[in-house]
């Protein structure tokens, strides 16, 4: 179901009001005061976050962002604040940034923070959106969707709950026993809750979910409010890392963005790269396409590429030296039936037009500046990215925390008591750290610890046309192949794809194929260009069997027939990977780095749990163990 944004309305005394729920967003006696008294005070904040490494707040109903702004402001003002503050909030009907700007004007004390929030406010699409604020020390995880289904997709260890749905009489689903149990599942030891709501059904549901409840003096006209403490003594499932030091092998987009995100979280990172500079392997192209891949039913790939696209865009916005252009991507349909599917997907998904539109043949021709015979998808804020510049900018962002060693080819890995050692071919030690992240693209399965990795390589060749040999092109065009706008006098077109093919040298035949694919879309566009005169680049895409990345902690080998579950798989201490970026490395890079680092830190994850599981390296070991069992049954 497409998201239904909230409609901004006010009741006669000027308090923001929801006609859909027939309730107000906050008390008429001052929203900021209520936020501080009920939600911060009720959870004993700021005192409880003081001196801590991490503190996690989860809120039901982000609404106007008032509670978030109050928490952020209190954290900033507190000299003893925790090192990182996480605020996770679920909202079924988010406001647009423009509406937030109108409402948030009412709170001049939050003006600076509100402006930053509005500027970074995500497009209104379903799923998880992550905002790294305040030098990465405040992380806002916004989940746009229904809390009754989305809470079970959250992976976090929550220290304080802000229960702020509309009143149970008008919004019972946000206070149901089911929902309260889902909250309890996320509670860290000693977690607390606070709410203005004293309704009996809500109290019963919270008590049944193991919260000890207590009434405290309320705010303004309300005499009392409710606070609670989680009773259970179960151990924290998300411990902090013992030491923040990691080796990353590979300085392609996987390794560079991982090193960047690790450093942003306060890690010391040693990057080992066999080439002389970043972005020398598959990530060495002059440009690659960045856009999501929608589907009418918003399937896994559609959700992942949408979240990945938005995450890469956010990362690029913070790296001024990365070269990229949001020039727009036009994805033309292959034939009439495909065109109808594309049109249907746009209608069903209901994504904001800034993200996705359907354009007919005439509009597609206009956008392209060339006549085409079919319509397709138009992604106005998508475009091209130059991967080597992204790698360099990401690695340079934290010079005090990222150490790079180039011409440093890792030959083998050794596990020692204190973690992992990376050795070169002569047996010399290149680096040693408690955590090692493999991000060596196509090379990874050569390491003994990654022999299980079911990754194959797909050779790809792009062709560089002299830009003045073709008419101009201002957008990225994709149909059977793709063509880029001019970059430094060159127009990149591509790309070939072949398996079991390790030829590193360029082939004229592949340049011919790239030209032929372009001719199918734009018949006279590159007329007269002789493929034998062209140059380009060859790279080897690290492909996983299901075309999804392979990200997370590396599992131990599994015996055939094991019926272990994914979350209970034994894992190798300190060994992690960011692999399998295949043909979509640019769209995966920022999101996968954020996922891996959140897992290492034990922080709330930037993706829904079903998507995290779809990326888990353990998925292949489970499949293999089951297949081996089935084969032994057959024989």
Ligand X SMILES: C[S@@+](CC[C@H](N)C(=O)[O-])C[C@H]1O[C@@H](n2cnc3c(N)ncnc32)[C@H](O)[C@@H]1O
The site for ligand FAD (CB under 6 A) is made up of: 249-255, 272-275, 280-283, 285, 288-289, 387, 409-410, 439-443, 460-462, 494-495, 539, 541-542, 581-587
For ligand FAD, the closer of residues 211 and 620 by Cβ is 620
In the complex, minimum distance from the CB of residue 164 to ligand X, in angstroms, rounded to a whole number: 4
Q: From the list ligand X, ligand FAD, none, pick the one residue 628 interacts with, judged by a Cβ distance below 5 to 8 Å according to partner type.
A: none
- Pairing state of beta strands 435-438 and 245-249? parallel
- Pairing state of beta strands 550-555 and 571-579? antiparallel
- Kindly list the distances between the CA atom of residue 564 and the CA atoms of 193, 550, 616, in Å, as whole numbers in the listed order: 35, 19, 14
In the complex, minimum distance from the CB of residue 449 to ligand FAD, in angstroms, rounded to a whole number: 12
Q: Which residues pair with 285 in a beta bridge?
A: none
Q: How many residues does the chain have?
A: 635
In the complex, minimum distance from the CB of residue 77 to ligand FAD, in angstroms, rounded to a whole number: 41
For ligand FAD, the closer of residues 145 and 617 by Cβ is 617
Contact by Cβ (8 Å): 97, 107? no
- Token pair 């003081």 is at which residue? 50
| Alpha-helical segments (H) within 244-360 | 253-264, 300-317, 336-349
Q: Look up residue 449 and give its DSSP letter.
A: G
Q: Is 587 helix (H, G, I), strand (E, B) or coil?
A: helix
For ligand X, the closer of residues 174 and 614 by Cβ is 174
Q: From the list ligand X, ligand FAD, none, pick the one residue 61 interacts with, judged by a Cβ distance below 5 to 8 Å according to partner type.
A: ligand X
Q: From the list ligand X, ligand FAD, none, pick the one residue 441 interacts with, judged by a Cβ distance below 5 to 8 Å according to partner type.
A: ligand FAD
Q: From the list ligand FAD, ligand X, none, pick the one residue 419 interacts with, judged by a Cβ distance below 5 to 8 Å according to partner type.
A: none
Pairwise CA distance, residues 447 & 435, whole Å: 16
Pairwise CA distance, residues 551 & 40, whole Å: 36
In the complex, minimum distance from the CB of residue 296 to ligand X, in angstroms, rounded to a whole number: 24
Pairwise CA distance, residues 347 & 351, whole Å: 8
- Token pair 């062209």 is at which residue? 534
Q: From the list ligand FAD, ligand X, none, pick the one residue 63 interacts with, judged by a Cβ distance below 5 to 8 Å according to partner type.
A: ligand X
Pairwise CA distance, residues 324 & 43, whole Å: 44
Preceding omega of 495 cis (within 30 degrees of 0) = yes
In the complex, minimum distance from the CB of residue 291 to ligand X, in angstroms, rounded to a whole number: 29
Pairwise CA distance, residues 115 & 11, whole Å: 25
Q: From the list ligand FAD, ligand X, none, pick the one residue 251 interacts with, judged by a Cβ distance below 5 to 8 Å according to partner type.
A: ligand FAD
Cα 60 → chain centroid: 21
In the complex, minimum distance from the CB of residue 593 to ligand FAD, in angstroms, rounded to a whole number: 11
Q: Is 239 helix (H, G, I), strand (E, B) or coil?
A: coil
For ligand X, the closer of residues 164 and 513 by Cβ is 164
For ligand X, the closer of residues 162 and 378 by Cβ is 162
Pairwise CA distance, residues 94 & 179, whole Å: 20
Angle at 333 (CA atoms; ends 461, 472), nearest 5 degrees: 60
For ligand X, the closer of residues 66 and 246 by Cβ is 66
Q: Which of 390, 422, 418 is nearest to 258 (CA)?
A: 390
**Closest residue to ligand FAD, based on beta-carbon distance:** 252
Binding site for ligand X (CB under 6 A): 6, 25, 59, 61-67, 90-93, 146-148, 164-166, 171, 173-174
For ligand FAD, the closer of residues 424 and 556 by Cβ is 424
Q: From the list ligand FAD, ligand X, none, pick the one residue 602 interacts with, judged by a Cβ distance below 5 to 8 Å according to partner type.
A: none
Q: From the list ligand X, ligand FAD, none, pick the one residue 431 interacts with, judged by a Cβ distance below 5 to 8 Å according to partner type.
A: none
In the complex, minimum distance from the CB of residue 486 to ligand FAD, in angstroms, rounded to a whole number: 16
Q: Is 421 helix (H, G, I), strand (E, B) or coil?
A: strand
Q: From the list ligand X, ligand FAD, none, pick the one residue 182 interacts with, judged by a Cβ distance below 5 to 8 Å according to partner type.
A: none
Q: From the list ligand X, ligand FAD, none, pick the one residue 166 interacts with, judged by a Cβ distance below 5 to 8 Å according to partner type.
A: ligand X
For ligand FAD, the closer of residues 443 and 622 by Cβ is 443
Kindly state the helix (H) or strand (E) to which residue 458 belongs, with its residue range: strand 456-466
Cα atoms in the Cβ-side hemisphere of radius 13 Å centred on 87: 26
In the complex, minimum distance from the CB of residue 240 to ligand FAD, in angstroms, rounded to a whole number: 28
Pairwise CA distance, residues 430 & 422, whole Å: 5
Q: From the list ligand FAD, ligand X, none, pick the one residue 65 interacts with, judged by a Cβ distance below 5 to 8 Å according to partner type.
A: ligand X
In the complex, minimum distance from the CB of residue 129 to ligand FAD, in angstroms, rounded to a whole number: 20
In the complex, minimum distance from the CB of residue 43 to ligand X, in angstroms, rounded to a whole number: 14
Q: From the list ligand FAD, ligand X, none, pick the one residue 275 interacts with, judged by a Cβ distance below 5 to 8 Å according to partner type.
A: ligand FAD
Q: Which of 610, 549, 609, 611 is nearest to 237 (CA)?
A: 609
Q: Which residues pair with 284 in a beta bridge?
A: none
Q: From the list ligand FAD, ligand X, none, pick the one residue 604 interacts with, judged by a Cβ distance below 5 to 8 Å according to partner type.
A: none
For ligand FAD, the closer of residues 225 and 253 by Cβ is 253
For ligand X, the closer of residues 148 and 512 by Cβ is 148
For ligand X, the closer of residues 6 and 569 by Cβ is 6
In the complex, minimum distance from the CB of residue 189 to ligand X, in angstroms, rounded to a whole number: 25
For ligand X, the closer of residues 5 and 531 by Cβ is 5
In the complex, minimum distance from the CB of residue 294 to ligand FAD, in angstroms, rounded to a whole number: 16
Contact by Cβ (8 Å): 224, 191? no
For ligand FAD, the closer of residues 410 and 590 by Cβ is 410
What's the count of helices (H) and strands (E) in the chain, helices before strands? 17, 32
In the complex, minimum distance from the CB of residue 97 to ligand FAD, in angstroms, rounded to a whole number: 27
Q: From the list ligand X, ligand FAD, none, pick the one residue 394 interacts with, judged by a Cβ distance below 5 to 8 Å according to partner type.
A: none
Kindly state the helix (H) or strand (E) to which residue 130 belongs, with its residue range: strand 127-133
Cα torsion 609, 612, 613, 615 to 10°: value is 170
Pairwise CA distance, residues 133 & 128, whole Å: 16
Cα atoms in the Cβ-side hemisphere of radius 13 Å centred on 317: 12
Both structure tokens of 199: 């309704």
In the complex, minimum distance from the CB of residue 57 to ligand FAD, in angstroms, rounded to a whole number: 34
For ligand FAD, the closer of residues 168 and 252 by Cβ is 252
3-state class percentages of the chain: helix first, strand second, coil last, to nearest 5: 35, 25, 40
């Amino acid at each position: 179901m497409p998201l239904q944004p909230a409609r901004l309305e006010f009741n006669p005394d000027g308090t923001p009001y929801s006609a859909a729920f027939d309730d107000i967003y906050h008390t008429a006696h001052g929203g900021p005061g209520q936020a501080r008294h009920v939600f911060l005070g009720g959870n004993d904040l700021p005192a409880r976050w003081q001196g801590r490494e991490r503190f996690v707040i989860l809120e039901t109903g982000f609404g106007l962002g008032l509670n978030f702004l109050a928490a952020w402001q209190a954290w900033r003002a507190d000299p003893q604040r925790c090192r990182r503050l996480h605020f996770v909030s679920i909202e079924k009907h988010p406001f647009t940034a423009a509406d937030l700007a109108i409402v948030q004007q009412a709170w001049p004390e939050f003006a600076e923070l509100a402006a930053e929030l509005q500027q970074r406010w995500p497009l209104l699409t379903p799923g998880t959106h992550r905002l790294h604020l305040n030098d990465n020390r405040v992380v806002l995880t916004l989940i746009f969707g229904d809390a009754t289904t989305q809470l079970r997709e959250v992976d976090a260890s929550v220290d304080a709950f802000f229960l702020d749905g509309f009143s149970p009489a008008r919004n019972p689903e946000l206070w149901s026993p089911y929902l309260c149990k889902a909250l309890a599942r996320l509670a860290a030891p000693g977690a607390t809750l606070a709410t203005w709501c004293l309704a009996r059904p809500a109290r019963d549901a919270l008590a049944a979910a193991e919260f000890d409840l207590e009434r405290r003096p309320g705010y303004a006209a309300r005499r009392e409010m409710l606070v609670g403490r989680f009773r259970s003594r179960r151990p924290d499932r998300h411990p902090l890392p013992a030491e923040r030091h990691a080796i990353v092998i590979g300085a392609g987009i996987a390794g560079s963005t991982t090193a960047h995100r690790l450093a942003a979280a306060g890690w010391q990172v040693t990057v080992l790269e066999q080439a002389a500079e970043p972005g020398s392997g598959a990530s060495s192209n002059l440009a690659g396409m960045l856009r999501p891949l929608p589907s009418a039913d918003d399937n896994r790939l559609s959700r992942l590429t949408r979240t990945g696209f938005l995450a890469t865009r956010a990362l690029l916005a913070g790296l001024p030296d990365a070269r990229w252009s949001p020039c727009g991507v036009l994805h033309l349909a292959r034939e009439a039936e495909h065109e109808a599917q594309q049109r249907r997907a746009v209608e069903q998904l209901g994504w904001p037009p800034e993200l996705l539109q359907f354009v007919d043949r005439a509009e597609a021709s206009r956008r392209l500046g060339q006549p085409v015979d079919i319509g397709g998808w138009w992604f106005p804020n998508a475009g091209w990215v130059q991967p080597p510049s992204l790698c360099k900018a990401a690695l340079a962002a934290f010079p005090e925390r990222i150490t790079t060693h180039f011409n440093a080819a890792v030959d083998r890995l050794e596990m020692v008591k204190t973690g992992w050692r990376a050795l070169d071919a002569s047996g010399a030690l290149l680096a040693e750290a408690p955590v090692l992240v493999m991000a060596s693209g196509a090379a990874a399965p050569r390491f003994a610890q990654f022999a299980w990795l079911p990754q194959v390589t797909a050779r790809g060749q792009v062709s560089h046309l002299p830009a003045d040999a073709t008419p101009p092109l201002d957008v990225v065009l994709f149909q059977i192949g793709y063509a880029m706008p001019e970059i430094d006098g060159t127009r990149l077109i591509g790309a070939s794809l072949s398996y079991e093919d390790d030829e590193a040298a360029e082939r004229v035949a592949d340049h011919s194929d790239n030209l032929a694919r372009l001719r199918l879309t734009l018949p006279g566009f590159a007329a007269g260009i002789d493929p034998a005169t062209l140059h380009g680049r060859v790279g080897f895409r690290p492909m996983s069997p299901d075309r999804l990345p392979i990200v997370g902690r590396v599992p131990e080998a599994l015996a055939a027939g094991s019926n272990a579950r994914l979350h209970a798989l034994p894992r190798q201490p300190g060994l992690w990977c960011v692999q399998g970026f295949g043909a979509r490395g640019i769209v995966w890079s920022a999101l996968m780095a954020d996922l891996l680092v959140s897992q290492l830190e034990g922080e709330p994850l930037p993706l829904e749990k079903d998507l995290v599981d779809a990326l888990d390296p353990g998925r292949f070991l489970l499949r293999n163990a089951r297949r081996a069992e089935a084969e032994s049954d057959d024989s």
